[in-house]
């Protein structure tokens, strides 16, 4: 059962978190292009599509920690320091996405924004991506691992 839960956890992370990180990273430059050319419907559609990807996959991403907790429970590592740090970083990443990235994207999609907001959004997105990178590294290297790595 542990291998199944771990496989689902890893696949969910790839399928759900990957698109959010990529689409969120693409959003600020796309928004700048849309702001620079307000009559360009294709630029506006691109921004809307990237925002939709971020919103949908953010919801789907809830599956990642659910299966992560199930996996950690079956492995008996719920009290491990590396896991507790990973959980805290995951919660912080979710907070950054929900409180900073998605609202800023929504404002830009709705036309309430300027170049300065896209720069700030790029910073928030970078923080979100760095948090996920740190979680990924902890999940691979995890101190006390029995993988021999």
Residue 146, Cα to own-chain centre: how many angstroms? Answer: 28
∠ CA 18-98-91, rounded to 5°: 75
> CA quadruple 111, 103, 14, 52: dihedral positive or negative?
negative
| pLDDT one digit per residue (tens) for the chain, 149 residues | 889 999 999 999 999 999 999 999 999 999 999 999 999 999 999 999 999 999 999 999 999 999 999 999 999 889 999 999 999 999 999 999 999 999 999 999 999 889 999 999 999 999 999 999 999 999 888 876 655 44
């Amino acid at each position: 059962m542990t291998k199944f839960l771990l496989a689902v956890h890893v696949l969910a992370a790839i399928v759900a978190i990957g698109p959010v990180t990529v689409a969120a990273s693409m959003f600020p430059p796309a928004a700048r292009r849309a702001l620079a050319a307000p009559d360009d419907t294709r630029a506006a559609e691109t921004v809307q599509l990237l925002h939709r990807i971020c919103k949908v996959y953010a919801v789907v991403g809830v599956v990642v920690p659910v299966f992560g907790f199930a996996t950690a429970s079956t492995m008996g590592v719920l009290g491990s320091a590396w896991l507790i740090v990973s959980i805290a970083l995951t919660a912080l990443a979710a907070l950054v996405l929900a409180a900073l990235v998605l609202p800023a994207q929504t404002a830009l999609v709705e036309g309430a924004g300027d170049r300065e907001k896209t720069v700030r959004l790029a910073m928030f997105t970078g923080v979100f991506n760095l948090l996920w990178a740190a979680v990924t590294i902890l999940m691979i290297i995890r101190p006390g691992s029995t993988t021999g790595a």
